[in-house]
Amino acid sequence: MLKDKKVNKRLESTKKYIDALSAKYSKLNVIRIDLGYRKLHNNKISQNDASADFSRMLNNRRGKQTVFGEQVGYICKKEHTEDKGSHFHVIFFFNGNKVLKDAYKAKQIGEYWEHLTDKKGSYHNCHLNKYKDNGIGVIEHSNIEKRKNLDKAVSYLCKEDGQEIEKSNKKDRAFIRGTIPKEKNKLGRKRKDKQQ
């Protein structure tokens, strides 16, 4: 019961986070990627080292504008399994008015991850398998159907399935996301209502 309450709270606050991003950007390019380590290395990389690699990637974003320029948010679920070791299910949000090529952007992020981990890292570009209701790619503020699909993908990341990382310290979290952006200036043309 307590676990369900925690998951529901996480899901609700994550949806509010995405709502805030949608309020600020009329189009979001939603990039879904899984980051991990090659089989040869996956059980040699500690959870602490994996978390440090991911943190380093987040911290390096400002200096890697060709990869992370126009990135406006992220959601990440850290997991550890026997067969894959430590890995990350990540959704990056980009300004969809400026970044259009979702599969290419996911490839750039994955290649940067490989570089950052000295070729020990690997990635899965979720944009290469186009599913009907995937909730990734460019999502316009008014497209309710694609947003519902994104919410489904997010609910998968929010649930607890026993594969989350073990906390090595009080600050370590199995689920992390960016901060809610500041309120957008209300100047300019009013947006159309969402499609029904």
> pLDDT for 166-195, tens place per residue?
555 556 678 888 988 776 566 656 656 555
pLDDT higher than 80, residue 128:
yes
Instruction: Categorize the per-residue pLDDT at 103 as very low, low, confident or very high, splitting at 50, 70 and 90.
Output: very high
With both helix axes pointing from N to C terminus, report the angle between 102-116 and 47-59 in degrees, rounded to the nearest 10: 120
> pLDDT for 12-59, tens place per residue?
999 999 999 999 999 999 999 999 999 988 888 988 899 999 999 999
In the chain, the percentage of residues whose pLDDT exceeds 90 is 54
Instruction: Categorize the per-residue pLDDT at 162 as very low, low, confident or very high, splitting at 50, 70 and 90.
Output: low
- Segment 1-6 shows an average pLDDT of 70
Cα angle at 48 between 155 and 175, to 5 degrees? Answer: 15
DSSP state letters, the chain: -HHHHHHHHHHHHHHHHHHHHHHH-SEEEEEEEEEEE-HHHHTTS-HHHHHHHHHHHHHTGGG-HHHHTTEEEEEEEEEEETTTEEEEEEEEEEETTT---HHHHHHHHHHHHHHHTTT-EEEEETTSS--TT---EEEETT-HHHHHHHHHHHHHHHS--S-BPPPSSTT--SEEE-PPPPPPP--SPPPPPPP-
Please give the pLDDT value at position 83: 87
Please give the pLDDT value at position 73: 96
Instruction: Categorize the per-residue pLDDT at 90 as very low, low, confident or very high, splitting at 50, 70 and 90.
Output: very high
Among 6, 175, 88, 158, which residue's Cα sits nearest to residue 150? 158
Among 141, 170, 119, 145, which residue's Cα sits nearest to residue 21? 141
Q: Tokens at residue 122, please?
A: 């690997």
> pLDDT for 61-84, tens place per residue?
989 999 999 999 999 999 988 889
